[in-house]
Amino acid sequence: CWKPYSKLTNRAKNYRANAHIQIVSFALSMLTDTPQSEEDLKMRARGFFGDRMPTFEDSEVVQGILRDGAEYYKSATTKHERLWLLSLYSRTFEYHDMVEHIDGLSERTWNQAKKMGIDQGTYKETDNTKERYDPIKLEYFISFITSPYILIGLPYGHTKATDSQGTTYDLPQSIRPTGIYETIDMYIAYMKEMGLEKLLLKRTTCYKILSMLPLKKSHSLECVDYFQADATNNIFRLHVKKQSVNSDHCLTWTLSDPTNPHFSMPDSGHLHRQRCVYCKQIDQTNDDMKKML
């Protein structure tokens, strides 16, 4: 699976030697808590090996390196540390070499480690501080998801809710017209617009909170359009004709200008003896509007 060290080119020898040094350095850094103690361990290691430094021709040494890597892999506290350790080994060994010592190691994880070693090059410490609870951030989020932006109150119906202490509350019925992901996007956009980006909760936290809320699908009618219902009534139908005994419905009479003969048409052959009751209300409405203005 790998060539002996003596049969490698000078470039490959340098590559493997550099990888070996990085593996040892990483292992020493995990054993110590300060740079001074790490340097002390390096000096003692050089003094212990002296002129008999191990080579890749020694199969026992290779297996020992793989076993040590597996132990460090299991003792790593974060995924980032495990991937970085594997990235060091991926420069020299193959996946089938490492999987013999690390149970459950997948090829996907191995490929991620190889890519990580190529992209980053050096190990970087990550901040593992976990923020468990921030009452101010949580208060802003709860206020948003219970605001009219998200919840719409219904004019009827109530529901009962019971807390952990057994107290029952009577709450008005409400609906949430948006889904979980839409609600989170609206929350983030709202907080950014208000200049409160520092008080944003993480997306995963918002998702867990919204997932725990007991919701059920329901349908509700809101803002019923009575205009469409009233449109079926006869009072909204068009009764105008070219000639009609009703002056309000006579096109010839209504559209003719009595002061300009060029914009008028002679209306003969019938008399206007009627007026529409509903059309009269338009004049009354116009008069009322003029009084208000």
Residue written as tokens 């209504």?
A: 254
What pLDDT does 125 receive? 52
Q: How confident is residue 41, by pLDDT bands cut at 50, 70 and 90?
A: low
What pLDDT does 292 receive? 86
Phi (first) and psi of residue 90, to 5 degrees: -65, -15
48-65: b or e for each residue (b if 16 or more CB lie within 10 Å)? eeeeeeeebeeeeebeeb
Helix (H, G, I), strand (E, B) or coil at 24: helix
Q: How confident is residue 57, by pLDDT bands cut at 50, 70 and 90?
A: very low
Find all residues with CB under 8 Å of 129, minimum gap 6, and list them: none
Cα distances (Å, whole numbers) of residue 269 to 146, 161, 263, 276: 70, 76, 20, 20
pLDDT in tens, 192-236: 998 988 888 888 888 888 887 766 666 555 555 555 555 555 554
- CB-side neighbour CA atoms (13 Å) of 211: 7
Residue written as tokens 């409405």?
A: 285
Task: Please give the full DSSP string across 100-157, using - where no structure is assigned.
Answer: TTSTT--HHHHHHHHHHHHHH-S------------HHHHHHHHHHHTSTTT-EEEEEE
The strand pairing partners of 161, in sequence order, are 169
pTM: 0.33
Contact 5/13 with Cβ under 8 angstroms? Answer: yes
* Other Cβ atoms closer than 10 A to 72: 19
Q: How confident is residue 183, by pLDDT bands cut at 50, 70 and 90?
A: confident
